[in-house]
Amino acid sequence: MSATIYKKLSDMPLRLTGGEGVWLHAEGRAPILDTCGGVVVSSLGHRHPRIRAAMARAADDVAWAHAGSFTCDAAEELAELLIDEAGPGLSHVQFLSGGSEAMELAVKVAYQYHCERGEPARKRFISRRQSYHGSTLGTLALSHNPARRGVFEPLLAKASFVSACNAYRGRKSRESDADYVARLARELDARISALGAETVAAFVAEPVVGSTNGAVPAVPGYFRAIREVCDRHGLLLILDDVMSGMGRTGHLYSHIEDDVAPDIVAIGKGLAAGYQPISGYVVAPHVYEALRAGSGILQNGQTHVNHPFACAVALEVQKTIRDEGLINAVRRQGGRLRSGLEALARDHPFIGDVRGRGLFLGIEFVADKETREPLPEGAAIAAKLKRTGFDNGLLLYPGSGTADGREGAHILFGPPFIARDDEIDELLARLERVLWTVLPDMQRVAGHARSVADPVG
């Protein structure tokens, strides 16, 4: 019996013994190829020489310093680097420990912004269906994820939800992208008006939706239209880039591809590539100035704000991504992985959609490709995919509830940026074996009587 608490209280995880690059080593197992960066965290893989050296240097410096009294070179330089790459309209950043913290602070800062401007009634937040923004009570309240809300539902503050931007699931058969965007913008506009614009603080969204339904990007023009609605009603636009940011989609911030300037962006996961817990939120000048010119005090305090060691590690990670041209590698290897997934989808009877950006990709399983009927028993299928992945030397990140929070299944891909061509190809070959191994289970739940030949024998 282990004295450590794990997510599944009666199930012991694999015991790790080491790792190298995109490979993990677990007790009693052959090397495991990481297809997902753990949970889209390990962008530089394991034992990267530059990061190990930077950690050793940082360990010779101060261990910790209270951000209320001190700053450090690493925090200042990291902030400058991130602001320089954020595109127009963002000016200041604060560093925290995890993505949920970053989103919690984004919400608190948004409300304080309105209070400082004399609008304390703006305390409502609007999010999207099929979203996930964190595990704290505040961020979970903004997450339209029934499984994760679960037993905590009675504790959650009330939020409002509008439709997600999911072309595969939400766009009508003869609807253009422009018409779809206009319909979603009208829906948000109507919800704001129904709630009373003077009571709404912000609209919250993931630029590319991650774990809830597998790398779903917005259609072109969506966030520009949403930005216009927010501006018209005086709302802030908060983007949750915790999973999709820091180079994962082919830009350091994924909103850059959407050509939109948010008011607040939350970042995390890939910020230090898993070498150290660190996250952050980035704000626009008008948000920062409202707080500075008002009370002049950020109404929040946490122990590890702007942690010197964490900032030093994250700084070296971001410099490494820049110096080694890994954003371009993300685009190139993302294209290679996507092409391979699309080839698998053409042969596999239950892969309905391949989507995403860069090295942030997903496949959605369906019972019927023509009707897009969700695959039943998604949780069971996801569990079988993960187990079969381990049996084939793959760490997979499957999920369920893909279509509507309850039905459907998907796999989310986010391998390290350093993955070589041969490792992407090996990922695809092993994945193909996994998918055909699980095929009978998919046939069973989909009610398909016909058998499908296994092309890999």
**181 lies in the same domain as 241:** yes
161 shares a domain with 225: yes
**Number of domains into which the chain is organized:** 2
What pLDDT is attached to residue 457?
44
Question: Tell me, what amino acid is at 222?
Answer: Y
Residue 454 domain-assigned (yes or no):
no
Bridge partner list, 399: 410
User: Kindly report the CA angle at 264 between 297 and 244, in degrees rounded to 5?
Assistant: 135
Residue 145 is predicted with a pLDDT of 87
Q: Give burial (CB, 10 Å; 0-12/13-18/19+) of 414.
A: buried
**374 shares a domain with 264:** no
Phi-psi region of 79 (alpha: psi -120 to 50; beta: other; left: phi over 0): alpha
Dist. CA 351–CA 409, nearest whole Å: 10
24 falls within a domain: yes
DSSP letter for each residue of 429-441:
HHHHHHHHHHHHH
User: Which positions ≥6 away from 84 have C-beta within 8 Å?
Assistant: none
Read off the pLDDT of residues 282-329 as tens digits, 9 standing for 90 and up.
Answer: 999 999 999 999 999 999 988 999 999 999 999 999 999 999 999 999
Query: Is residue 9 domain-resident?
Result: no
> With left for phi above 0 and alpha for psi between -120 and 50, is residue 394 left, alpha or beta?
beta
Q: Which secondary structure element, helix H or strand E, spans residue 162, and what is its range?
A: strand 160-162
User: Which tokens is 180 given?
Assistant: 């779809």
Q: Are strands 236-240 and 200-205 parallel, antiparallel or unpaired?
A: parallel
Decide: 267 and 251 in contact? Cβ < 8 Å: no
Q: Are 159 and 203 a contacting pair, CB within 8 Å?
A: no
Return d(Cα 119, Cα 198) in angstroms, integer: 8
Torsional sign, CA 130, 131, 132, 137: negative
- Residue 5 inside a domain? The answer is no
| 303/29 Cα distance (integer angstroms) | 39
Question: What is the per-residue pLDDT across 85-98, written as a single tens digit (0 to 9) for each?
Answer: 998 899 999 999 99
Quick check: 25 pLDDT over 90? yes
Are residue 196 and residue 113 in the same domain, yes or no? yes
Q: Which of 323, 350, 381 is the last residue of a domain?
A: 323
Q: Classify residue 222: in a domain, yes or no.
A: yes
Determine contact, residues 388/372, Cβ cutoff 8 Å: no
Answer yes or no: do 204 and 240 share one domain. yes
pLDDT at residue 453 greater than cutoff 90: no
Q: For residue 11, what pLDDT band results from cuts at 50, 70 and 90?
A: confident
- My answer on whether 213 and 360 are in the same domain is no
Q: What is the CATH number of the domain that holds 421?
A: 3.90.1150.10
Over residues 114-157, the pLDDT tens digits come to: 999 999 999 999 999 999 999 999 999 999 988 889 999 999 99
Domain identity same for 333 and 388 = yes
Same domain membership, residue 282 and residue 135: yes
Residue where one domain finishes, among candidates 307, 323, 339 = 323
User: Which of 174, 170, 178, 250 is closest to 207 using CA atoms?
Assistant: 250
Residue 285 φ/ψ, nearest 5 degrees: -55, -40
Q: What would the two tokens of residue 73 be? A: 């070179």
pLDDT tens profile 350-366: 999 999 999 999 999 99
User: Tokens representing 208?
Assistant: 């590319």
CA atoms of 239 and 308, how far apart (whole Å) = 26
Residue 126's domain spans which residues? Answer: 61-323
Q: Domain boundary at 300, 323, 346, which? A: 323
Query: Domain check: are 187 and 331 in the same one?
Result: no
Q: What angle is formed at CA 417 by the lines to CA 278 and CA 34, rounded to 5 degrees?
A: 85
- For residue 43, give both structure tokens: 């962008």
Based on the domain organization, do 310 and 420 belong to the same domain? no
Among 90, 87, 108, 80, CA closest to 283 = 90
214 & 361 share domain: no
The per-residue pLDDT for range 408-438, each reduced to its tens digit, is: 999 999 999 999 999 999 999 999 999 999 9
Q: Which residues contact 208 (CB under 8 A, 6 or more apart)?
A: 215, 216, 217, 218, 243, 244, 249, 254, 356, 357, 360
For position 450, what pLDDT does the model report? Answer: 38
Find how far residue 342's CA is from the centre of its chain.
22
Q: Are residues 225 and 237 in the same domain?
A: yes
Check residue 449 and give its pLDDT.
33
Read off the tokens for 253.
Answer: 């911030």
Asked whether residue 87 is assigned to any structural domain, the reply reads yes
Q: Judge residue 148's burial from the number of C-beta atoms within 10 Å of its C-beta, 0-12 exposed, 13-18 middle, 19 or more buried.
A: middle
Asked if residue 182 is part of any domain, the answer here is yes
CA 286 to chain centre: 26
* Cβ neighbours for 241, distance < 8 A, ≥ 6 positions apart: 206, 207, 253, 254, 255, 265, 266, 267
Residue 298: inside a domain: yes
CATH assignment of the domain containing 289 = 3.40.640.10
SS (H, E, C) 35-93: CCHHHHCCCCCECCHHHHHHHHHHHCCCCCCCCCCCCCHHHHHHHHHHHHCCCCCCCEE
DSSP 119: -
